């Protein structure tokens, strides 16, 4: 009898959690965008509960025609986002192609430097699409069109599903390192994970690629982990070489792992050799440091420490009652 009651209670709790995860938290959030096309295209029209794809019905948001337009949703707290549903206009649907969906807690660059959940592209046969974000954590959700040419960013409805279930991790994770090239015997990839944070390159404590375009360094973890944070120690000279380095986390080796979702872009801090980057539980087996540049450069790291844990988020349990 006691065991039956425990099972019944657990089923009730699981049912409540599932119901909560299917609550559209966007309805209780605030929206803002980089510009306004006209008074009938306000940012909040994309979270008014009306999925009407007809722009003239005052149900869609729209920026003005501009370079790098963005639309941002501020959630009522820090959430783990499981999925996002996006309804496009019933015409000019291709305007959303290449739009990045970013999730995080930073307002740097208006929130557009936060980790990427996905790149959105329209489906000609489907006005409403679902994007999986697999528990990415954050308070801000940005739709961002990276374009030097002036374009519009238009959304007819955005629905966000998730829950306030933080994951706490503090275990350091070991792995294997590889890089796109080698400067010399002093700059081996594994020197960045040898436990030695000495920032003096000549002491054989730092990794370095050769002088090349688009250099990268990759850490292969011993399994799929939820990464809470990454600590990076820079060289004590030539420090600006880390400026603009992207950190990517995921399970794909496409483009050597450099197409995985982005956790952050790091820049040198003149007052601090070691920096901490929050990745808020992003999941993956591969962690890439990537310098996207057609101009030749070095990628050098003196120590990389990765903290996280193997606590997966389950999305496939069916509950019956």
- Token representation of residue 99: 């739009």
Q: Spell out the per-residue pLDDT of the chain, length 321, in tens.
A: 454 444 444 444 444 444 445 789 999 999 999 999 988 899 999 999 999 999 889 999 999 999 999 999 999 888 889 899 999 999 988 889 999 999 998 898 999 999 999 999 888 888 999 999 888 888 999 999 999 999 999 999 999 998 875 444 446 778 999 999 999 888 999 999 998 989 999 899 999 999 999 999 999 998 888 888 899 999 988 888 889 999 999 999 999 999 999 999 998 777 788 888 988 888 899 999 999 999 999 999 999 999 887 754 444 445 556
Looking at residue 24, the DSSP 8-state letter turns out to be B
Residues whose CB is less than 8 angstroms from the CB of residue 273 and which lie 6 or more positions away in sequence, other chains included? 199, 233, 234, 236, 239, 302
Q: How far is CA 173 from CA 135, 189, 281, 315, in A?
A: 20, 16, 13, 24
Residue of 119, 41, 127 lying closest to 92 (CA atoms): 127
Confidence at residue 318, expressed as pLDDT on a 0 to 100 scale? 52
Residue among 133, 15, 131, 119 at smallest CA distance from 79: 133
Of the candidates 301, 140, 134, 119, the residue with the CA atom closest to the CA atom of residue 226: 134
State how far the Cα of 230 lies from the Cα of 138, in Å rounded to an integer: 17
Judged by DSSP in three states, 18 sits in helix
Q: What is the pTM of this model?
A: 0.52
Determine how many CB atoms are found less than 10 A away from the CB of residue 246: 19
Q: Report which of 71, 73, 83 is spatially closest to residue 154, judged by C-alpha positions.
A: 71
């Amino acid at each position: 009898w006691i065991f039956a009651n425990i099972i019944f209670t657990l089923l009730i709790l699981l049912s409540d959690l599932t119901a909560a995860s299917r609550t559209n938290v966007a309805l209780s959030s605030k929206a803002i965008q980089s510009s306004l096309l006209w008074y009938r295209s306000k940012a909040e029209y994309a979270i008014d509960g009306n999925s009407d794809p007809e722009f003239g019905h005052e149900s869609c948001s729209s920026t003005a025609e501009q370079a790098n337009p963005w639309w941002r949703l501020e959630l009522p707290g820090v959430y783990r986002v499981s999925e996002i549903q996006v309804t496009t206009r019933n015409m000019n649907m291709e305007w959303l192609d290449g739009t990045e969906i970013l999730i995080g807690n930073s307002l740097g660059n208006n929130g557009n430097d936060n980790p990427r959940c996905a790149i959105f592209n329209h489906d000609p046969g489907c006005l409403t699409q679902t994007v999986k974000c697999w528990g990415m954590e954050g308070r801000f959700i940005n739709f961002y069109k990276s374009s030097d040419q002036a374009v519009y960013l238009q959304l007819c409805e955005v629905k966000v599903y998730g829950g306030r279930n933080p994951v706490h991790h503090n275990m350091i994770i070991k792995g294997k390192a590889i890089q796109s090239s080698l400067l010399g015997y002093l700059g081996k990839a594994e020197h960045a994970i040898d436990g030695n944070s000495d920032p003096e390159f000549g002491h054989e404590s730092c990794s370095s690629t050769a002088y090349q375009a688009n250099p990268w360094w990759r850490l292969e973890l011993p399994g799929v982990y939820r990464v809470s944070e990454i600590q990076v120690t820079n060289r004590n000279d030539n420090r600006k070489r880390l400026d603009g380095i992207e950190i990517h986390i995921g399970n794909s080796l496409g483009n050597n792992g450099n197409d995985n979702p982005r956790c952050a872009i790091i820049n040198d801090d003149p007052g601090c050799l070691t920096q901490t980057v929050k990745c808020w539980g992003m999941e993956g087996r591969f962690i890439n440091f990537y310098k996207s540049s057609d101009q030749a450069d070095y990628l050098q790291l003196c120590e990389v420490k990765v903290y996280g844990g193997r606590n997966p988020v389950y999305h496939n349990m069916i509950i019956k009652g």
